[in-house]
């Protein structure tokens, strides 16, 4: 026989068990959406940071057309300054910046910037890919002037190619080297409009003569996968030289119909090569 005095006491006990079960189930569901685990998952799927290094007679703005496309595709981009003073010093400056970047990096160099990234990335675990855009990919002991080869416009009489500051002869390793207007128009900036060529000439940053004669140290491409965009109309670093360096480095090569400033005249192709490296 049911005792009416004890019955009310049993119902709260059953309700207590039900509430405890529901709370436990809710806790298990919430645990499956642990924010720490979600953040880790997002980090694993995050795109690498793209670090762009310009070459001689240029600055970071030479990457603007590529930078915009990469940003539109969701990449974090840093187009950083290249001091153009010496291979070792320029590489040390870029390396110091790379060491501050969290997560994987795709490191991209144009022209002399290829020389710099080759030396800056050696032994850095966060640099996952190298991309050479109309660029040098040197081996140990090689210099920029040595690698351009006899077919380069830079191999002509220096007095017809360069303006030296100061103009004192013989020049010293710290002498600033500018390109003559005729060199910019006929060899360096081919593929650009006359107005853009004028802008390139007017805003060029000089490189120190010593940097163009300084040998490379151990190259990063020996341990880091590399890609290259080879301009078949390049008159500064001829395609034959780019191709030979890329093959030696084991780079994945893309050839395109562009002069030395392909990053400005054909940014779509250059962006595509960089993103191929980023997805690897």
The reported pLDDT for the residue numbered 46 is: 85
- For the chain, how are helix, strand and coil distributed in percent, rounded to 5? 50, 15, 35
For the chain, report the end-to-end CA distance as a whole number of angstroms.
77
Q: Does any domain span residue 26?
A: no
Q: Does any domain span residue 261?
A: yes
The reported pLDDT for the residue numbered 78 is: 98
Q: CA 235 → CA 27, 155, 206, 212, 247, distances in Å?
A: 67, 10, 19, 17, 19
The mean of the pLDDT values for the chain is 89
Rounded to a whole number of angstroms, the CA Rg of the chain reads 28
- In tens, the pLDDT along 233-247 reads 999 999 999 999 999
Range of the domain at 89: 47-279
Q: Does any domain span residue 225?
A: yes
What's the CATH code of the domain at 200? 3.40.50.1820
Q: Of 210, 219, 217, 215, which is closest to residue 86 (Cα–Cα)?
A: 210
| Total tally of structural domains belonging to the chain | 1
The answer to whether 212 and 164 are in contact (CB under 8 A) is no
Counting residues of the chain whose pLDDT is more than 70, the rounded percentage is 84
Q: Does any domain span residue 274?
A: yes
- In tens, the pLDDT along 8-66 reads 444 444 444 544 444 444 444 334 444 333 333 334 468 999 999 999 999 999 999 99
- In tens, the pLDDT along 190-226 reads 999 999 999 999 999 999 999 999 999 999 999 999 9
Q: Does any domain span residue 158?
A: yes
Whether the per-residue pLDDT at 3 is higher than 50: the answer is no
The answer to whether 136 and 111 are in contact (CB under 8 A) is yes
């Amino acid at each position: 026989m049911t005792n009416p005095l004890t019955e009310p006491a049993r119902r709260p006990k059953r309700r207590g068990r039900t509430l405890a079960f529901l709370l436990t189930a809710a806790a298990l569901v919430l645990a499956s959406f642990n924010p720490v685990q979600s953040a880790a998952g997002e980090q694993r799927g995050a795109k690498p940071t793209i670090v762009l290094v310009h070459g001689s007679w240029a600055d970071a703005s030479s990457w603007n057309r590529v930078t915009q496309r990469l940003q539109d595709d969701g990449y974090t981009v840093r187009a950083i300054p290249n001091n153009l003073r010496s291979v070792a010093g320029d590489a040390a400056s870029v390396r110091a910046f790379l060491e501050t970047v969290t997560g994987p990096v795709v490191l991209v160099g144009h022209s002399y910037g290829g020389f710099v990234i080759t030396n800056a990335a050696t032994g850095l675990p966060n640099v996952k890919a190298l991309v050479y855009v109309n660029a040098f990919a040197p081996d140990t002991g090689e210099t920029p002037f040595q690698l351009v080869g006899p077919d380069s416009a830079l191999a002509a009489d220096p007095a017809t190619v360069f303006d030296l500051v100061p103009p004192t002869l013989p020049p010293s390793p710290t002498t600033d080297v500018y390109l003559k207007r005729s060199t910019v128009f006929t060899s360096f900036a081919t593929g650009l409009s006359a107005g853009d060529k004028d802008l390139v000439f007017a805003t060029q940053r000089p490189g120190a003569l010593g940097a163009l004669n300084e040998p490379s140290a151990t190259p990063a491409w020996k341990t880091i996968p590399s890609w290259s965009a080879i301009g078949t109309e390049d008159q500064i670093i001829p395609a034959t030289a780019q191709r030979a360096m890329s093959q030696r480095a084991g780079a994945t090569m893309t050839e395109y119909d562009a002069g030395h400033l392909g990053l400005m005249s054909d940014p779509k192709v250059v962006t595509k090569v960089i993103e191929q490296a980023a997805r690897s």
